[in-house]
Amino acid sequence: KLDSDQLIIDAGQKQFGATTCSSCGMVYSADNPEDNFQHTQFHQRFLDSIKYVGWKKERVVAEFWDGKIILVLPDDPKYAVKKAEEVRRIADNELGFQQVTLSQPTQAKTFLFINTDRLVVGCLVAEPIRRAYRVLEQPEQNKDMTKDDFMDRHRAWCCSTVPEQALCGVSRIWVFSLARRQTIATRMLDTVRSTFMYGSYLTKEEIAFSDPTPDGKLFATKYCNT
């Protein structure tokens, strides 16, 4: 009797044990055929999208020991614009954005963080803007679980109705799941501030995040306070 119980327990654990693919970062259950299929579908397409072969004319705007940041502008050669779009699509997909179009395609600047393995592990899209509305801190008593869950799912942050001066809007910021918490987003944002407007370094107040996700909000809060 003990043995058969044990078998059932093992089967259950196998079925529900989640694995994280060490190359594409997808979390799936390897023993579930449907999950396996989805992973196989995703894996190669994802790796192809973030692969960076290197271009003769690339605009390197920052260099680090673990990678570099390149800037892609809308009038760049087709291969560069295409790669920027490919990575943006990945980010949009993860962010749950439906439309891939930008609000001002001709003025969008795409910053890509390339690591030493020649993978695009970070993407930031910045666009010039004129004003922004500050996301208001939720009152402490409203921070119960259900409310937070609701807010998180609906991304319905309460915004101030008073417009504030801003110059640069960050419409997307994304870092590859396996490369997070290594200051890649921080370094991309620092680079945006120093290169977005010729000859001046933007203050943190001059940068605005559009429609932040919970991750994005945590990051932005930390970034803006330091």
Binding site for ligand ACO (CB under 6 A): 94-95, 170, 172-175, 180-186, 209-210, 212-213, 215-216, 218-219, 222
Mark residues 160-199: x for contact with Zn ion by CB under 5 A, - for none.
----------------------------------------
Q: What is residue 202's DSSP assignment?
A: P
Give the nearer residue to ligand ACO in terms of CB position, either 32 or 186. Answer: 186
Provide the token pair at 33.
């055929």
Q: What is residue 157's DSSP assignment?
A: -
Our finding on whether 89 is near Zn ion (CB under 5 A) is no
With CB under 5 to 8 Å by kind, the binding choice for 212 among Zn ion, ligand ACO, none is ligand ACO
Cα–Cα dist 136/143, whole Å: 13
Cα–Cα dist 89/108, whole Å: 15
Only segment of 13-21, 82-90, 162-170, 175-183 that touches Zn ion (CB under 5 A):
13-21
Give the nearer residue to ligand ACO in terms of CB position, either 36 or 210. Answer: 210
Least Cβ distance, residue 220 to Zn ion (angstroms)? 29
Least Cβ distance, residue 12 to Zn ion (angstroms)? 24
Provide the token pair at 106.
């001709």
Question: How many residues in the shown chain lie near Zn ion by CB under 5 A?
Answer: 3
Least Cβ distance, residue 122 to ligand ACO (angstroms)? 7
List the one residue from 31, 32, 35, 43 that touches Zn ion (CB under 5 A): 43
Our finding on whether 126 is near Zn ion (CB under 5 A) is no
* Pairing status of strand 168-175 against strand 60-64: unpaired
Our finding on whether 217 is near Zn ion (CB under 5 A) is no
Residues forming contacts to Zn ion in the complex (CB under 5 A) are 21, 24, 43
